[in-house]
Structure formats: structure tokens, C-alpha cells
Chain A
Amino acid sequence: MADRIAMEFEDGWVVNLGVGMPTLCSNFVHPEREITYQSENGLVNYGPLAVEGEEDPNLVNAGGQYVIPIPGMAVLDHADAFALIRGGYVDVTVLGAYEVAANGDLANWRLAGRKGGGIGGAMDLAVGARNVFVMMEHTTREGAPRLVERCAQPITAPGVVKLVATTLGLFEITPDGFVLREIAPGYEPDEVQAATGARLIVPPDLREFQTRA
């Protein structure tokens, strides 16, 4: 999934990666594309995750993982880091989610029925980044779909998600709903539809999940 999402990063993009699976995207970027990573705790142009023994206790990404500095790195305070985000300087944010709806609604901060939630930077990123991509398991642990007609979980931002990679495929959100662009090897479109809570548009040029050789 991380591999597939990272293929969408264009040359020159500023990329913000959410906590968890999305941080894996930084491992798969095309070497010929120049990508700048931004982290909402105040880093621009940071390097890969630090290997054991190379960690600096005062250099972490937004997921709290130790990263290494690269030439050209800059540090901002928290207000400036979010000014950068809301100001439109981030080309894409890759976030995890509980649910994504066919109209692009994103739900990733609180589970219905619980009082507490974890927003972190998600609400600012969802409205500030030029593109919002999501990476998530296709269904919940109980087998319920995460791609849905309307979110049952409280939303983070309305109508912002453009692309979703799940364990079963790559889905583009269009004015007509979810389009199944690519499918995981070994699956048929009707199996993916059965695990999805909204109508899938299956185009004639459906491809298998594309990954770099």
C-alpha cells in the first residue's frame, strides 16, 4: 500500500506522512523524483528513519520516530509548522482512517460511542493539504467495510479524500463515487465490491496493483 501511494508522489512535491502505516511511504519513493518531507512538529526536509545507534533524542517526526537530518533541513515552531500546512504549501498528506465515504468524507479521529478522540494534526492537514490520500485496511477487524456510502464515525473533514489504498485495491474518489483503479493480485472485482459499503465503479481499464519492479 505504502509503495503504491508513494508512486503517486510527483517530482517536487512537499509530502506530509501521518502516524503509523503512512510513514512507510518514505521508504519507497522513486529515486529520480525530488520529494520534500514535512512533519507537523516543525520539520521541513528531513531524512529517513534513524537506525539504532544513530538516533538524536531531539529529532523526531510527527509519529515520534527518530529521523536523521539531511542537508537543507529546516526547523519551525509548532505555529509556523501549521501555518505551512494551512497555508497550502503541502502537496499531499497521507493519513490513516477509520472510514472514507464515497463523497470524500474522512473519519479518522474518534470512534462513535467513545468520548475521547485523537485529532492530532489531522483536521488541519485534511483542509490544508492540496491532496489527501488515505491508507487503511479494507475492512475492520470485525469485517465491516471501511469504504462506505456515508461515514458512521464522526468526520475529520468533509469531501477531502482523493485517493485510497487498501489491502484490496486502489480507489479514486470521483463525483460519481469510488472508482476501482487497481485491484490486489488474486482478487476479483465482485469480491472487492462485497467487502465495500458503497457502489464501486469498475472501469474497463482496471489493472492489477501496480508496484515498482
Chain B
Amino acid sequence: MKNKTYESFEAAVADIPDGSTIMFAGFAGPGTPRNLIAALLAQGASGLTIISNTPGRWADGEIVDLKVLVDAGRVRKAVASFTAAPHPSMSGVFAELYEAGKIEAELVPQGTLAERIRAGGAGLGAFYTPAGVGTELAEGKEVRSFDGRDYLLELPLRADYAMLRAHRADELGNLQYVHTQRNFGPIMARAAHTTIVELDLPIVPAGEIDPDHVHTPGIFIDRMVVVPADAIQETVRNG
């Protein structure tokens, strides 16, 4: 049995080279691999292309998410469903860099983003979606009509690495998530060459997780690190 368990976040991200494309799970907190992001920041890889729902939070504060990589200048390009804050009253470093032309971005409707990631992990060449038809996002894309409705051709996304947070795993990497921690985890785990997961709970022996209750099969998981009690936990944020 291949040992997928790493003793530290540092070791789990040590080989990630400059210029890598990395998918990061997480939506509004739950599922964000905060400890892996902190380790990647310390490791120093730069020129990264990040694929995620947002390029980090828009507000200031001490919370570790993709904002720390953006603020440190490690990100060359972001593929996300937000390139500006959801409300004009919020801003953030990413938005300032993007408006100034200092960072690249590809803005993708969230459902299209999820499906492109799913398609990337599912071996598909492309798919057609109705989202974005008749908008400026359709510019340059093939439009095709099926049964009288127009659809846009969208291409799959793959990555060198994916990073996610899950609730628990067995030693083979069979994962369970808790509630909305799941979000992009299952689809990103399949769409990357190397998938790294941080875990809420200690790793259990094979057979401890009911096979009918596995959310992400271990075949998609390459590296696991259990989050120690003194590392970053997902906590309730106010405001």
C-alpha cells in the first residue's frame, strides 16, 4: 500500500515548482485548505495559476486563504467566478492588481467553473452550457443550438496540483467531507495530477469508512496531512 500520509504541511508542498497550476477547494470558508496555503506561502513558489471560486477574501484580517498568496505576489493568473468583490463597497489587493493590469484573470460563471473542473477530471474534451449565452462572456466562443436553445462551448480545466480540506480519511485516502466543506473538493480531487488534502480528524485504517459512504475515493488522493490541534481550524467568523 502506497503511503499517502505526510507528517507536515511543509513536506506535502515541498516539491511544488514555480509556475504551477493549482486548484484550491473551498467556498466562503468551509473546505478551504488553509494550512496547505500557509505552507505554500512559506515554501515560496511563485508565478502560480490558481483555480478557485474566488481569489481569496476581499476584506482585510488575519484569516489565511488565497488572499495571502495574492498579496505576496505569488499569483500570476487567477481562474475564478469573481475578479471583483461581490459588492462595490469591498475591494482588496486582487481587485486593485487586476484593475491595474498587474495580474491576469479569467472570469468564469460558477456553474461553468465547476463543470469545467468536473469535465477535466472526467476525461471529456468539452461541453456546451446555456450559461453566458448573449453576454460578453460569449465573445470568441462557439455557440451551437440544440433543440432550439443556444449553448456555449466550454473547455475542461486540469491542474498540476489540487488542495482541499476534508473531514476524515482512511489510509487509502477514501474521504468524507462534512456539510458544505464538500463544495469543490470531489471534482478538484479528480482534475489534478497530484491532489493534497488536509484533514480535520486522524486517519483511520482501511475498512473503517463504509464504502457506501465514501465521498471521494482514495484513488484520486495522493497526499494527506492531518491538521494538528494547534494548526488552523475552520472557525465561525463574525461578519
Within 8 A of A (CB), among B40-86: 81-86
Comparing A6-14, A29-37, A120-128, A161-169, the segment that makes contact with chain B is: A120-128
Residue B115 is within 8 A (CB to CB) of chain A in the complex: yes
Question: A118: which of B28, B86, B185, B215 is its contact (CB, 8 Å)?
Answer: B86
- Whether, in the assembled complex, B187 has its beta carbon less than 8 Å from a beta carbon of chain A, the answer is yes
Q: Is A178's beta carbon under 8 Å from chain B?
A: no
In the bound complex, CA of A139 to CA of B232 (Å): 43
Neighbour of B110 across the interface among A43, A60, A69, A121, CB < 8 A: A121
Also in contact, A64 and B82, with CB within 8 A (given A58-B179, A78-B187, A127-B131) = no
Q: Check if B114 sits within 8 Å of A78, measured CB to CB.
A: yes
Count of residues in A whose CB is under 8 Å from the partner chain: 49
Does A156 touch B at the CB level, under 8 Å?
A: yes
In the assembly, what is the distance between CA of A55 and CA of B237, in Å? Answer: 9
Shortest Cβ distance from B165 into A: residue: A58
Q: A82-B115, A119-B82 are in contact. Are A40 and B110 (CB under 8 A)?
A: yes
User: Interface segment, B14-22, B133-141, B203-211, B223-231?
Assistant: B133-141
B114 adjacent to A81 (CB under 8 Å): yes
Q: How large is the interface on B (under 10, 10 to 19, 20 to 34, 35 or more residues)?
A: 35 or more
Please give, as numbers and ranges, the residues of chain B lying within 8 Å of A150 by CB-CB distance.
none
A57 contacts B234, CB within 8 Å? yes
Is the C-beta of A79 less than 8 angstroms from some C-beta in chain B?
yes
Residue in chain A with minimal CB distance to B134: A158
In the complex, per-residue mask of B155-195: 1 if CB is within 8 Å of any chain A CB, else 0: 00000000000010000000001111111111100000000
Majority-rule SS of B interface residues: loop
| Interface residue? A59 (CB, 8 A) | yes
The smallest C-beta distance from A130 to any residue of chain B, in angstroms, reads 13
A86: interface (CB < 8 Å): yes
Q: Is the interface of A mostly helix, strand, loop or mixed?
A: loop
- CA separation between A184 and B52, bound complex, in Å? 42
Asked whether B82 lies within 8 Å of A120 as measured between CB atoms, the reply is yes
Q: Contacts A20-B87, A75-B179, A115-B99: A123 and B107 contacting too (C-beta < 8 A)? A: no
Q: Which residues of B contact A43 (CB under 8 A)?
A: 179-180
Given A55-B236, A118-B85, A158-B134, are A69 and B184 neighbors across the interface (CB < 8 Å)?
no
Distance from B137 Cβ to chain A, minimum over Cβ atoms (Å): 7
Is A72 in the interface zone, CB < 8 Å from B?
no
Tell me the A46-85 residues at the B interface (CB within 8 Å).
Answer: 55-60, 62-64, 66, 69, 75-79, 81-83, 85
Verify if A117 is at the interface (C-beta below 8 Å from B). Answer: yes
10 closest A-B pairs (Cβ-Cβ)? A124-B111, A82-B111, A116-B84, A64-B28, A123-B109, A116-B83, A79-B118, A158-B134, A78-B114, A59-B179
Task: Spell out A's residues near B (CB within 8 Å).
Answer: 19-20, 39-43, 55-60, 62-64, 66, 69, 75-79, 81-83, 85-86, 110-111, 114-124, 126-128, 154-158
Having A41-B27, A78-B187, one finds 8 other A-B pairs with CB under 8 Å, namely A58-B167, A60-B27, A60-B29, A116-B84, A118-B86, A121-B111, A124-B110, A124-B131
